Amino acid sequence: MTSARPIYRANVLVIGAGFAGIRVCQGLRHVGVNVALVDRNNYHVFQPLLYQVATAALSPADIAFPIRRIFRRHKNIECVLANVDKIDLVRKCVCANEQEIDFDYLVIAAGATHSYFGQDQWGPMAPGLKTIDDAIAIRRRILLAYEEAENEMDEESRKAKLTFVVVGGGPTGVELAGSLRQIAVEEISKDYHNIDTKTARVILIDANERVLKSFHPKLSARAEKDLKKLGVEVLLNGRVTHIDENGVKIGDMRVEANNVFWAAGVSAAPIARTLGVELDRAGRVKVNPDLSIPGHPNVFVAGDLASVIDPRTNEPVPGLAPAAMQMGVHVAKIIRQEIQSGVRPEHRIPFKYFDKGTMATIGTTRAIADIWGWKFTGFIAWLMWSLVHVMFLVSFRSKLLVMLNWVFTYMFHSSGARLITGEFKPRIRRFRDVTPRQSADPAA
């Protein structure tokens, strides 16, 4: 292994260009310190809108932005495209792409991945939604389902292709299920000649007694009502016991479906297991109130990878984008103050999560929002949801494109990103005869 270049002043290494990692770097961009931001991708992605890429409402470039472009004016921030393999807290170095990078301060903001609760073999049949690649793969499955159904003569096989199952009734699952139904009813119903896309089944399965369990019961009930009004079948208190290429079992009931999507759980990024520190049941790092790792005051964990209790509520800080942003700001403030003063205080200020509210959308003009105890539903909630999400997009270009896409979709009920990319092999049991019909008029 080769060693990184010598440390310049204080070397701050940030792993992960998600919400937390970006906020850390932004908080240190005017400080006399060398910052290295390491990520396996060269872009930052706005994860709350991934489901809209998956359902062809937006293009990947609408919600992703090159990391180097974000920090191109800040010479003290270096962007490193690499995959982190191991973290050595004792030697204060990180192994990435078979090279070692030393650090004075380390911020681990590697995020989370899918959790299949011990059934990892379900992954290929039921993809989750955490990355741009996930969204593109799900988009391919959704659009292929309609193409295959258009040319499928076997009735049972056609029904299976037009059945979409979403496992998990949290915000991602609810938003995905609502969008799937909206596509079938409003956006593509006139594009196919041999099938009625409005007959497509969208089934949302959740093991709890209500969807959106983290929301107020009144808002959960409204979300369920809106889902059912769209035509989504909501199955509560249902546990998935088996998934294969042709369907899913909920308890003893089997549903024939070629399209199953996973939104039921998350697990911390595997890099946490290389730290040799205490983790919680989801694999997240148990951190001190200031977000540092016990015994390592120069190492912080932020975002979905951190398991932290809010001292004001004694409740776990939720794995939401606003929480990750606030953690990034908090960590940057600590590092900035210690670098500028040259002193590490005996007691640091603990992280305090400021809950600005939660939102979820069920479809165009349908949403729920809980803002500082005030509860909103319907069109007003959807407008609030739209404005908040646009506001937190990184670039002006992204803000403009997303707003224009939403306006176009709202006015014309048509999304413009319905592209099937990558290699695929249609699964059709019995092909429809596509021989052109002979015209009755010889002159035609």
Catalytic residues: 175
- Distance of CA 87 to CAs 17, 35, 294, 350, Å? 17, 17, 15, 25
Give the residue from 119, 49, 59, 52 showing the smallest Cα distance to 264: 119
> Interior CA angle at 54 toward 50 and 55, to 5°?
115
DSSP for residue 431: B
**Residue whose entry in the numeric block shows the structure tokens 């998956």:** 54
Three-state secondary structure string covering 341-403: HCCCCCCCCCCCCCCCCEEEEEECCEEEEEECCEEEEHHHHHHHHHHHHHHCCCCHHHHHHHH
Contacts of 205 (CB under 8 A, 6+ apart): 165, 166, 167, 168, 169, 235, 238, 240, 248, 250
Indicate if the alpha-carbon torsion angle 289, 290, 296, 302 is positive or negative.
Answer: positive
Other Cβ atoms closer than 10 A to 314: 7
The CB density around residue 85, as the number of other CB atoms within 10 Å, is: 14
* Residue pair 175/362 in contact by the 8 Å Cβ criterion: yes
Partners of residue 412 on adjacent β-strands: none
Distance CA(219)–CA(186), nearest Å, equals 25
Distance from the Cα of residue 15 to its chain's centroid:
18
Q: Which residues pair with 34 in a beta bridge?
A: 11
Amino acid at 59: S
Rounded CA gap, 119 and 241, in Å? 9
